[in-house]
Amino acid sequence: MFRTPGFSGKTIACQDWLAILDELNIAAFIVGRDRRIEALNLSAQAMIGVRGNDAVGRDCREIFLGVPCLVSCPFRGLDETKQPEPMLRLPGDGDESYLVTRIATPVYDAARQVVGCLTILQDHAPIADLVNRIHYEERSLKIILDNLEVGIFTVDRGGVVTFFNTAAEKITGFSRQEVLGRPCAAIFRGGSAADLDLLKETVASDSPRSGIESRILTREGIAVPIRATYLPLRNENGIAVGGLATFSDLTLVHQLKQVIEDRYTYYDMVGKSPAMQRIFENVQVVAKTDATVLIEGPTGTGKDFLAKIIHSASRRSAKPLVKVNCAAIPDTLLESEMFGYVKGAFTGAVQDRSGRFQAADGGTIFLDEIGDLPLALQAKLLRVIEEKIFFRLGTSQTTKVDVRIISASNQRLDRLVARKRFREDLYYRLNVFRIELPSLKDRPADVPLLIGHTLRRLSTSKGVAPPEISENAMQVLLNYTYPGNIRELENILEHALILCQESVLRRKHLPDYLRQRPATAGRGHEKGDISGSSERTRIGAALRRHSGNRSRAARALGMDRSTLWRKMKKLQLL
């Protein structure tokens, strides 16, 4: 038995650990604070190529002479500050070498003082043999694996990635060079911890798991829905020496499901800026309640999208989400649209008709652009919020409803209240929980994420692989301030994808008004106006350019048709 006086009587415990690791064919050794080897198991002796009696008591730097781990000490924190690399190569027979994973952990005494280090070395040879057969002996199999549209990667028993096919590169955005030899958990840091546990359990129990639906975080930080299968990898003796995971990109399936069910989740929100992270946290909390929510933010920031996410995550998700665009419906029709009418209420009312509130009973009603709601109708809306009842046009009989109200405005309602254009009592009823979505120009760190996310979504819907973006094109996209916010960015990328018939999206594929901008223009020099002229002139020019077609003009301006109609009404362009 090796004596380890530096470990304060813990010799037996340490030896037990070494023996257990020996049974698992895992090399391990213990080094004291003075850098002298105090114990090493048989697997370590075989791997390092030294007998125990020759190693114990000697300085570890003598035993590991010529081994790359000398560059950074295995027991980080004793007298070295550089983080050791987890992978290193040990010399083999002749000129050959083999790859091992090193895991080092400090050993503490009763006073929590570091008294040494336990180092584990795991040989990659068994899993490497399997991968080498794929690489060299079974080239046809490797070609098949690399041409499948299913992502495939393998790991050893320590969870280190040992194989990564082409589809996995495309789905995740990681290259083989970035992934091979690194821990799986570090690469797929955004994935579910449960998924990594399943992969580990698959290897440990030697039993497969299939059909697991989850998400994986790409190199750009985008959550991609996947369906995964985990299989154990066995050597010639039938012993599990690693695991194999296959995963399919479910982006298109996810999009189709969203369109059919009109339901969205937190994963559909993209953003890593502090402002967006706070919004994500708040939305997850408020969505589970029945609180009235007010969403404010400039046009095109995704207010309606956020309303869908809140509804989908609420207890009312099985019931309807009914949208009313208060700016797109003429004032004379708004009341009948919202509350309905009975036969004979006015000329043309030939039968009873339910309104939007009644259609949303049990669910959620989304009042978009509520700042444009006429004052007369604001009082009636206040009654619905307070008493949950309303009158249909042409009757004195009340109708009771159970609805959650989410409202949105691209104008600050408190400013409208100050100008007497919005009822103060209604404002406070709507402003129970306020969420302010920032302009895209105020969250520049999110622009690359949104570009990647949007390109992926648009490309998947067209059945093509997302193109790479040239440095020149990316510079143009990053230097623009997007007065139309996310909606304008989506329109720009859709335009570019239509023109791009190659694997790289270039500057020439972008809309004319972007390409004609000075290449040195910075984000801070934009005023939210393409030509520098007034909004009236800008809208008028777009309408003329598209022969008065509002849909095409709105798309070119980066806004939806109802927003354009409201602006035209405000600027007296109708």
Q: How far apart are CA 175 and CA 331, in angstroms?
A: 56
Closest CA to 321 of 355, 291, 354, 360: 360
Residue 470: pLDDT band (50, 70, 90) is confident
Where do the domains of the chain lie, and which CATH numbers do they carry? 5-123 (3.30.450.20), 127-249 (3.30.450.20), 270-436 (3.40.50.300), 441-570 (1.10.8.60)
Q: Is the pLDDT of residue 39 over 60?
A: yes
Contacts 24+ apart (CB under 8 A), 76-81: 76/104, 77/106, 77/114, 78/33, 78/106, 78/114, 78/117
Q: Is the pLDDT of residue 63 over 80?
A: no
Residue 102: pLDDT band (50, 70, 90) is low
Q: How far apart are CA 455 and CA 493, in angstroms?
A: 7
Mean pLDDT of the region 111-135: 63
Mean pLDDT of the region 138-167: 73
The better pLDDT of the pair 427, 171 is held by 427
Residue 457: pLDDT band (50, 70, 90) is confident
**Using H for helix, E for strand and C for coil, what is the string for 297-356?**
CCCCCCHHHHHHHHHHCCCCCCCCEEEEECCCCCHHHHHHHHHEECCCCCCCCCCCEECH
Q: Is the pLDDT of residue 128 over 70?
A: no
Task: Determine what percent of the chain falls in helix, strand and coil, rounding each to the nearest 5.
Answer: 45, 20, 35
Name 427's Cβ contacts closer than 8 Å, sequence gap at least 6. 413, 414, 416, 417
Residue 318: pLDDT band (50, 70, 90) is confident
Structure tokens at 87: 């992978």
Question: If you search the block for the tokens 């570009």, which residue do you land on?
Answer: 451
Using the 8-state DSSP alphabet, how is residue 99 labeled? Answer: E
Give residue-wise pLDDT tens across range 334-369.
888 899 888 877 777 778 888 899 999 999 999 999
Question: If you search the block for the tokens 């969205």, which residue do you land on?
Answer: 264
Q: How far apart are CA 527 and CA 533, in angstroms?
A: 10
Q: How far apart are CA 338 and CA 358, in angstroms?
A: 8
Mean pLDDT of the region 160-173: 82
Give residue-wise pLDDT tens across range 390-445.
888 888 888 899 999 999 999 999 999 999 999 999 999 999 999 999 999 888 88
Q: What's the pLDDT score for residue 80?
A: 40
Q: What's the pLDDT score for residue 152?
A: 84
Q: What's the pLDDT score for residue 90?
A: 57
Q: What's the pLDDT score for residue 183?
A: 81
Closest CA to 102 of 29, 184, 197, 23: 29
Complete DSSP assignment for 125-188: HHHHHHHHIIIIITHHHHHHHHHSSSEEEEEETT-BEEEE-HHHHHHH---HHHHTTSBHHHHT
Q: Is the pLDDT of residue 92 over 60?
A: no
The interaxial angle of helices 375-387 and 331-339, nearest 10 deg, is 10
Name 350's Cβ contacts closer than 8 Å, sequence gap at least 6. 343
**Among the ranges 132-136, 184-188, 500-504, which has the highest mean pLDDT value?**
500-504
Enumerate the β-bridge partners of residue 368: 325
Mean pLDDT of the region 110-114: 71
Give residue-wise pLDDT tens across range 202-244.
777 777 777 677 777 777 677 777 878 888 887 767 777 788 8
Dihedral angle, C-alpha 147, 150, 153, 159, nearest 10 °: 180
Span of 25-34, 294-303, 353-362 with lowest mean pLDDT: 25-34
Nearest-Å Rg of the Cα atoms of the chain is: 32
Residue 99: pLDDT band (50, 70, 90) is low
Q: What's the pLDDT score for residue 165?
A: 85
Strands (E), 443-549: 468-469, 504-505
Tell me how long the chain is: 574
Collapsing DSSP to helix, strand or coil, 105 comes out as strand
Residue type, 329: I
Q: Is the pLDDT of residue 333 over 50?
A: yes
Q: Is the pLDDT of residue 26 over 80?
A: no
Using the 8-state DSSP alphabet, how is residue 430 labeled? Answer: H
The better pLDDT of the pair 85, 195 is held by 195
- Provide the mean pLDDT of the chain: 76
Query: From the centroid of its chain, how far is CA 74?
Result: 35
The interaxial angle of helices 561-570 and 550-557, nearest 10 deg, is 100
- The reported pTM is 0.54
Residue 4: pLDDT band (50, 70, 90) is very low
**Among the ranges 185-194, 294-303, 508-517, which has the highest mean pLDDT value?**
294-303
Q: What's the pLDDT score for residue 248?
A: 76
